[in-house]
Amino acid sequence: MALHPSSSFVKSALQILLITLFSCIPLAAYAQQNNPAQTQACEALEEIRNLTITSASIRANSRSSDSYCYVRGIISPAIHFHAQLPLPRNWNGRFLQWGDGGKDGDLDFADHRVAEGYAVTNSNMGHDNGVEPGASFGFNNRQAEIDFGYRAVHLTVMAGKVLVNKFYNKAPEYSYFEGCSQGGRQGLMEAQRFPNDFDGIVAGAPAFAYQALNASGTWNLQRMFRDDLAGNLAVDTDGNGSFDSLKLIDILHEQVLQKCDANDGIRDGVLGSPLSCDFKPASDLADLMCPAGNSSDQCFTSAQLQTVQDFYQGPRDDNGVQIYPGKMLGSEMRWAGFYVPSEANNNGPSKLIGVAGDHMNYLFYEEDPGVTIPNVRDYNYQAKTEGPFPEFHWIDYDINDFTNGSGDLMMSITDATDPDLSQFLKDRGGKLIVYHGLIDTLIVAESTQNYYNDMVDATFSGSMAAAKENARLFLAPGMAHCAGGNGPNTWDKLTPLVNWVENGTAPDTVIATHSSNGVVDNERPLCAVPQQARYIGPSDSADNPANWIAENFRCE
Ligand SMILES: [Ca+2]
Ligand SMILES: [Ca+2]
Ligand SMILES: [Ca+2]
Ligand SMILES: [Ca+2]
């Protein structure tokens, strides 16, 4: 990468700094923090034309001893953004838009990327979650929905590049996007709508089918709560009215593992390929059914079996049209935190409700049906649908509204489901890395795999080999939503993309690790789809964790 125009100055400044560093470290730190030229250049960004900048000042980095130039600005009507600009001698020449999570509504820092030299921007997506929490920003506010859907990210990137040009006196050599979940949706949205913004995009666990996944979240809660919680997978063992045991989920998960854990070559509690596991609840749980009229945390009632089947099946409308994939086999333990009311979840949908929350009130219908009910945990509450401020209860959401056109307008704003990435991948030659954890229960990896396959068809005439020149998908066995899970779930998401874009080194695998107490105890390569990692290590000790290392797997 070429150094920027003032590189000779920077080099000599660096030499002086290094000499100072070796002679007197406190003095070096003092000189670095108080370089008047840098402070002046940073503060001058407040005066930049054609952007509304509200502040620009030198700020400390939590992940580095190097301070940086911190800029905040506003884009009409309500987008707030910030830029974290490394001082010129620390800049690696790259621009990075840092992705958001959830419904966002605030400014997110990426201090670790700034420490690596990236000039980073992020926005509040056009609303303030302190004033309008959750999805409420979308209440009768189309502009806020458009900003959330796609406008805030794009305009923040535009503003960020203007700031980079001004501060460093040159354009970024390369521009990247990195994000997961909401950020994954943003990455795919950018690839579809604004193909010239980035050279490379990494999109993790993308919430790209945004309306479908929220409809699915609501539907799953409805299945769990129906018939006065008859099919709840938590059990009230002492009959005191409080669901205290989650044992049935353990039992279900164990049954799935017994059937398919070893299919990838090792019994590590991780399914390498859950979609090819042939677990069938009705037959595989047949020996674990309760006698009629009984229930306990050791056996399944027919209502509980129905819930399990519904979760794996996923929502369909009354005509049998699949709205969203069902939960992946192996993800059972993650259901507890999001869908299963128990004492562990404050015995109600307080935490569960975050899955779909107030989405249907404010972000699904063209005209919002009503505000949230006074207590969203109260599933028996009758929403007041009349009067000046009608209410809408998540339990009254009709999954048929997904396919009858009621959500089409909002889908056109929030969904990043267009499989044609020709402009980004072919015309621009951009690179795309998508990853998704296979036990992610919030956003189901199968939907991402379906999208990737649709993209191969629409963009590369069905040629996987051609598609892999520009876009690769990595599915992570045993990885939960963006992080966590009992399988290997940790790797540097951005560096493989940078190596691909700048050096042409396409990632065939990324090495993912799982750690307990800071020690790696499970490792495997994640293979670019359609390949999968298969254990090829010592066959007589395949279940010894010492053998669960990347070298003992082959992509095939
Ligand atoms: Ca943000
Ligand atoms: Ca709305
Ligand atoms: Ca109890
Ligand atoms: Ca396994």
- Could you write out the DSSP letters of every residue in 278-291? ---HHHHTGGGBPP
Q: Give domain status of residue 320, yes or no.
A: yes
pLDDT at 299: 98
Q: How far apart are CA 412 and CA 206, in angstroms?
A: 17
| Burial class for 140, CB neighbours closer than 10 Å (0-12, 13-18, 19+) | exposed
Whether 296 and 237 have beta carbons less than 8 Å apart is answered as: yes
- Residue with tokens 């995009």, as numbered in its chain: 201
Ligand 4: distance of its center to the CA of 536 in Å?
A: 13
CB atoms within 10 A of CB 320: 6
Residue 311's domain spans which residues? 212-411
Distance CA 258, CA 279 (A): 10
Q: Measured in angstroms, how far is the CA atom of residue 510 from the centroid of ligand 2?
A: 40
Ligand 3 centroid–CA 287 distance in Å is 25
Spatial CA neighbour of 384 closest among 395, 394, 376, 393:
393
Judged against a pLDDT cut of 90, whether residue 30 lies above it is answered with: no
Task: Find out whether 115 and 90 touch, Cβ atoms under 8 Å.
Answer: no
pLDDT per position as a tens digit, 54-71: 999 999 999 999 999 999
DSSP string, 378-393: -TT-----SSSS-B--
User: Which one of the ligands is nearest to 238 CA?
Assistant: 3
**CA 365 to ligand 2 center in whole angstroms:** 7
Residue 301 lies in a domain: yes
Task: Name the token pair of 472.
Answer: 């690769």
Rounded to the nearest whole angstrom, what is the distance from the C-alpha of residue 184 to the centroid of ligand 1?
13
Provide the percentage of residues in the chain whose pLDDT is more than 70. Answer: 92
Q: How do 68-75 and 94-98 pair as beta strands? A: unpaired
pLDDT class of 2 with cuts at 50, 70, 90: very low
> Given phi > 0 = left and psi -120 to 50 = alpha, else beta, which region is 492?
beta
Q: Is residue 308 in a domain?
A: yes
Residue 22: predicted pLDDT: 41
Pairing verdict, β 94-98 and 119-123? parallel
Q: How many domains does the chain have?
A: 1
CA distance 216 to 355: 9
| Residue positions counted in the chain | 556
Distance linking the first and last C-alpha atoms of the chain: 35
Residues with CB under 5 A from ligand 4 (ion): 261, 264, 266, 268, 270
Provide the mean pLDDT of the chain.
92
Q: What is the 3-state secondary structure (H, E, C) of 396-427?
A: HCCHHHHCCCCCHHHHHHHCCCCCCCHHHHHH
What is the C-alpha separation between 234 and 341, in angstroms, rounded?
7
User: 456 in a domain, yes or no?
Assistant: no
What's this model's pTM, rounded to 2 decimal places? 0.93
Whether 95 is covered by a domain: the verdict is no
**Omega before 77 within 30 of 0, i.e. cis:** yes
Q: What one-character-per-residue DSSP string does 334-346 give?
A: HHHHHT--SGGGT
121: pLDDT strictly greater than 80: yes
Contact call for residues 436 and 478 (beta carbons, < 8 A): no
CA of 238 to the centre of ligand 2 (A): 44
* Alpha helices (runs of H) in 173-292, residue ranges in sequence order: 182-193, 210-229, 247-260, 281-284
Which residue has better confidence, 92 or 10? 92
pLDDT value at residue 343: 86
Which ligand does the CA of 122 lie closest to?
1
Whether residue 366 has pLDDT greater than 90: yes
| Interatomic CA distance for residues 244 and 237, integer angstroms | 7
Strand order of the β-sheet with 52-59 is 52-59, 68-75, 79-86, 119-123, 94-98, 174-180, 200-204, 431-437, 471-476
Which of 127-131, 151-155, 316-320, 348-352 shows the lowest mean pLDDT across its residues? 348-352
pLDDT at 12 exceeding the cut of 80 = no
CA 138 – ligand 1 centroid, Å: 16
pLDDT band with cut points at 50, 70 and 90 for residue 23: very low
Give the tens place of pLDDT for each residue, 484-539. 999 999 999 999 999 999 999 999 999 999 999 999 999 999 999 999 999 999 99
Q: How far is the CA of 545 from the centre of ligand 4 (A)?
A: 11
State the DSSP H helix or E strand holding residue 31, giving kind and residue range, or none if neither. helix 25-33
Q: Indicate which ligand has the atom closest to the C-alpha of 241.
A: 3
- Cα of 136 vs centre of ligand 3, distance in Å, is 35
pLDDT of amino acid 430: 98
- Say how many Å lie between the CA of residue 65 and the centre of ligand 1: 24
Angstrom distance (rounded) from CA 32 to CA 87: 10
Which ligand is in closest contact with the Cα of 243?
A: 3
The answer to whether residue 517 sits within a structural domain is: no
> Which listed ligand is nearest to 257 at the C-alpha?
4
pLDDT at residue 379, as a whole number: 87
Q: Is 444 exposed, middle or buried (0-12, 13-18, 19+ CB in 10 A)?
A: buried
pLDDT at 35: 86
Q: Which two tokens stand for residue 506?
A: 């396409």
How far does the centroid of ligand 4 lie from the alpha carbon of residue 477, in Å? 9
Residue 99 confidence (pLDDT) above 70: yes
Question: Does residue 543 fall inside a structural domain?
Answer: no
What ligand has the least distance to the C-alpha of 545? 4
Amino acid at 18: L
Burial of 244 (0-12, 13-18, 19+ CB in 10 A): middle
pLDDT at 14 over 50: no
Name the residue with tokens 């030299």.
Answer: 117
Let me know the angle formed at the C-alpha of 484 by 482 and 489, rounded to the nearest 5 degrees. 75
d(CA 492, CA 497): 10
**Assigned domain for 120 exists:** no
Q: Are 129 and 358 in contact (CB under 8 A)?
A: no
